[in-house]
Structure 1
Amino acid sequence: MPNKNLIQVFEYQKLRFTDTNDFKEHHFKALVKFNEENDNKYFKPIYNGIQFGSYVGVLQIGGLTIEILPKADKIDNSNQQEKDTWQSVLLHMLRVCNKIQVETVSETQLKKRYHSILEAYFAMYLEEIEHLVKRGLVKNYRRVKSNQLAIKGKLVFAQNIQKNTVHKERFYCEHQVYDKDHLIHQILLRGLQVLESLNTSHLSDKINRLLFQFDEVKHITVNANHFKKIKLNRKSQPYDRALSIAKMLILNYSPNISFGQDNMLTLLFDMNMLWEEYIFRTLNKHKPFGYEVSFQNSDTFWEHKTIRPDIVITNTKSENFVIDTKWKIVESNNPSDNDLKQMFVYNLHWKSKKSILLYPQVNQRDSEFGNYFYKHLENSQNQCKLGFVSVLENGSIKKGNILSDEIFDKL
């Protein structure tokens, strides 16, 4: 049974608050404000709603979760089985690209237990902190300044005179304390507070129990710089996973984005960039012997401008092959002029005889390699073709080694 607090949509799909009881006008206003604060890159406002673009992932606004799923075929937007399939594809691609670390959660568990990708994250975060609490939260040394009834550590003369002119019996000292109130715990506490604010009522008991374990930890406003300061050692290494999830929660959280009504958590990815990285990681992991695969090879093109093919493959004969990934549905054998010109330049610049424009497959077949006609290349090849690969096989996610073999065979 679908979760009433979860709406699943596909790329470029429209969502109106007049079409569903779950998506309200205040949700719409929160999304529009969030989008405006991010250069309007995530979706397009339309009458009474929004139209999603190339970004996929998950949004949580208060108690409502919206999953935006990739769409590589002409599927029925209302078909739940199709939504489950493409949710699994998205989760798999995010895993392979190390965008989320949910390798302990299978797609089956996700559907039965969590309902959404984001909810899986919430549950894992709480499980990680529970595990740390059972191990015993580690203590660290930290330096503090405070008034004492006896000299403890080092007397801070200037501040002692300033603060204790009347109270001669006190001493303003700087000294060390050994306790649980340090940056790592302050970050984990902030992560718990984010979950508490997101109206995750079914997790509230567990959240409150864990918040109690951090009652002596100072509340701070956490930003990206705090995570850069953390250096894990042997004693704090078990915190690594919890900190990774906390980083995602905190840095993607937007409190009170719509006039104090809704808190928002977003985890969004450009599908074009995700597809590009997914193909690279798959090829690099399952490459045949004698091949090297490199990613985003930027080089100077004109003055200060650079060019960057997505993937360059080199073999032991020092032959180069260029792959440029495109996450969109196209008619077979009909590349755009701009794409063909771009691949021609890649071939010249990287001394590649062959290049491929690689698209997700619906029903298309690969084209044959076509020749570029250029008078200075009469005795040398400069070719390009369209290639198509599917991430699915018989309704299930295609294994990485099979996908890699298919792509290398195209060369």
Structure 2
Amino acid sequence: MKPSKSIVVFEHEPFHFKEEHKKMKLDIALENYHGDGTPFFSLIRNGVQFNQHVGVLKVGHTTIEVLPKADRSNEKGVWKQLLIDMIKTVWGFDVKISSRADLKLKNTTVLDLYFELYVKELEQLLHRGLIKRYNKKEGNLYALKGSLQFSKHISQNLIHKERFYVKYSNYDIDHKIHHILYKALKLVELHYNQPDLGSRIGTLLLNFPEMPDIKVTESTFESINFDRKNLHYENALQIAKLLLLNYHPDVSRGKNNVLALMFDMNLLWEQFVYIVLKKNIKHKAVRIKSQQIKEFWRSKNTSSRMKPDIVIETNNTVVVLDTKWKNLNKKGKPSPEDLRQMYAYHRYFKASRTALVYPGEESKLINGNYTPIHDDESKLTCGMAFISTHKDIQQWKTNIISFVKENFLEIID
């Protein structure tokens, strides 16, 4: 494993190539990768401009971490850990870190998180025992087995009367699921940074049977059917899918392969707030739903739908929350498009209250009233809800729960 160079930037920041980056061909690698249609950054003069996507770009032996930022803090270590904790919360990851946790976390990236998870899943699969599947094979055998492939038998065995070219089914561990997992394991071996993972990866490669290399696409995973026998493979296959489909090998030089694990921060913030509320607000009169869809326009051949981020229903009220990962300044105001969207939620979801939910340096709710057009609209409001971020993920979650309870769910003690 060659030492990895690390670059850390915040979302929406420009990154300019220095002479050392150009010597490593980092500029060419990112320009070529951008040519594949990547949405994570745009090209600028002598550099790249990152957007709302956060995570890790591994280019050759260089790791570029793009971190979220919702306040004036420039503490990259804090936001690195918060990003990892947000991802753990949203996807329910439970990574057991060694006793040297504080030392490890200083250098841990999102990529390391997934590598750790993947290695852990494979270790569990091997301990449990790899499943067998029937798979079709063909070849020259010394015994007649399955169905004889007559044309190939004649062409290949004209002078070998003792052989039979046959097509047959074999019940073993050499099948597509294990081909995928082995390919992802080889990818992890190529890109891991944490020394502690090296020995575990080596042990896995010794114990996991070598599999043929296959071409993996989206359809490869879509063709896998889960049943009672292989359901415990689902987590490993999900991580393998994430890794393999976001790997872009450098076919021209072979030195600057790109592995991208990037997340749209708007979606991550939405899912984070929803999961925190869903898991922690338990009340028989409260129902918290995500992505509720309603149709609001239709023509002969098409239609359009609306889909708020979070809908909170009680026995007699409906609250619609729409999350926005934006850092509004003191004089900031919602965009007209966001306000019109919230007005539509009032009408179509019969919401008593709506609010745009932002991360903030302090928790506060600023209510605004829609100008009434009809008598029944006199109480339509849209608030700007700012929920205080915190460097400790548990305190941040507490801030979210307390804010929603105090401002939107008066029925909860």
TM-score range, shorter chain: 0.7 to 0.9
The answer to whether the Cα contact below 8 Å between 2:291 and 2:308 also exists between their aligned partners in 1 is yes
TM-score of the two chains, using structure 2 as the length reference: 0.85
Instruction: Show the counterpart of 1:152.
Output: 145
Counterpart of 1:12, as a letter, is H
The answer to whether the Cα contact below 8 Å between 1:102 and 1:121 also exists between their aligned partners in 2 is no
- Structural mapping, 1:85-100, within 5 Å: 85-98=78-91
Q: CA shift at 1:375, angstroms?
A: 2.8
2:9 is paired with a residue of what secondary structure?
A: strand
Q: Residues of 2 paired with 1:106 and 1:205: CA distance?
A: 14
TM-score of the two chains, using structure 1 as the length reference: 0.85
Counterpart of 1:56, as a letter, is V
Q: Residues of 1 paired with 2:399 and 2:362: CA distance?
A: 18
**Could you list the per-position Cα deviations for residues 306-334 of structure 1 after superposition, in whole angstroms to 9, with x for gaps in the alignment?**
222222221111x2211111111113573
The answer to whether the Cα contact below 8 Å between 1:62 and 1:199 also exists between their aligned partners in 2 is no
1:323 is paired with a residue of what secondary structure?
A: strand
2:122 is paired with a residue of what secondary structure?
A: helix
Q: CA shift at 1:361, angstroms?
A: 0.8
Q: Residues of 1 paired with 2:258 and 2:221: CA distance?
A: 21
> Aligned residues: percent identity?
35
1:59 is paired with a residue of what secondary structure?
A: strand
Q: Residues of 2 paired with 1:387 and 1:74: CA distance?
A: 18
Q: Which deviates more, 144-153 or 263-272?
A: 144-153
- Structural mapping, 1:279-318, within 5 Å: 279-289=273-283, 290-303=285-298, 304-317=303-316
The answer to whether the Cα contact below 8 Å between 1:391 and 1:397 also exists between their aligned partners in 2 is no
Counterpart of 1:373, as a letter, is T
Counterpart of 1:144, as a letter, is K
For these two proteins, the number of residue pairs brought into alignment is: 398
Counterpart of 1:313, as a letter, is I
**Could you list the per-position Cα deviations for residues 302-360 of structure 1 after superposition, in whole angstroms to 9, with x for gaps in the alignment?**
3322222222221111x221111111111357333332222222211211132111111
1:398 is paired with a residue of what secondary structure?
A: helix
Instruction: Show the counterpart of 1:410.
Output: 407
Instruction: Show the counterpart of 1:36.
Output: 35
Q: CA shift at 1:10, angstroms?
A: 0.9
The answer to whether the Cα contact below 8 Å between 1:321 and 1:355 also exists between their aligned partners in 2 is yes
**Could you list the per-position Cα deviations for residues 266-308 of structure 1 after superposition, in whole angstroms to 9, with x for gaps in the alignment?**
1111111111111122222223521112222232223322222
Counterpart of 1:120, as a letter, is L
**Could you list the per-position Cα deviations for residues 231-271 of structure 1 after superposition, in whole angstroms to 9, with x for gaps in the alignment?**
45555455444333222221111111675331111111111
Q: Residues of 1 paired with 2:193 and 2:4: CA distance?
A: 14
Q: Which deviates more, 236-245 or 172-181?
A: 236-245
1:115 is paired with a residue of what secondary structure?
A: coil
Q: Which deviates more, 42-51 or 56-65?
A: 42-51
- Structural mapping, 1:11-410, within 5 Å: 11-18=11-18, 21=20, 26-38=25-37, 40-76=38-74, 82-98=75-91, 101-105=93-97, 109=101, 112=104, 115-133=108-126, 135-198=128-191, 202=195, 207=201, 210-214=204-208, 216-232=210-226, 236-256=230-250, 259-289=253-283, 290-303=285-298, 304-317=303-316, 319-332=317-330, 334-363=333-362, 365-367=364-366, 369-378=367-376, 380-392=378-390, 395=392, 397-398=394-395, 400-410=397-407
2:261 is paired with a residue of what secondary structure?
A: strand
Q: CA shift at 1:11, angstroms?
A: 0.9
Q: Residues of 1 paired with 2:97 and 2:203: CA distance?
A: 24
Q: Which deviates more, 240-249 or 180-189?
A: 240-249
RMSD across aligned C-alpha pairs, in angstroms? 3.0
For the structure 1 residues 379 and 363, does the alpha-carbon distance in structure 2 shift closer, same or farther, using more than 3 Å as the test?
closer
Instruction: Show the counterpart of 1:79.
Output: none
Instruction: Show the counterpart of 2:411.
Output: none
Q: Which deviates more, 122-131 or 196-205?
A: 196-205
Instruction: Show the counterpart of 1:10.
Output: 10
Counterpart of 1:298, as a letter, is I
Counterpart of 1:330, as a letter, is L
Give unmatched runs, 5+ long, in structure 2: 409-413
2:56 is paired with a residue of what secondary structure?
A: strand
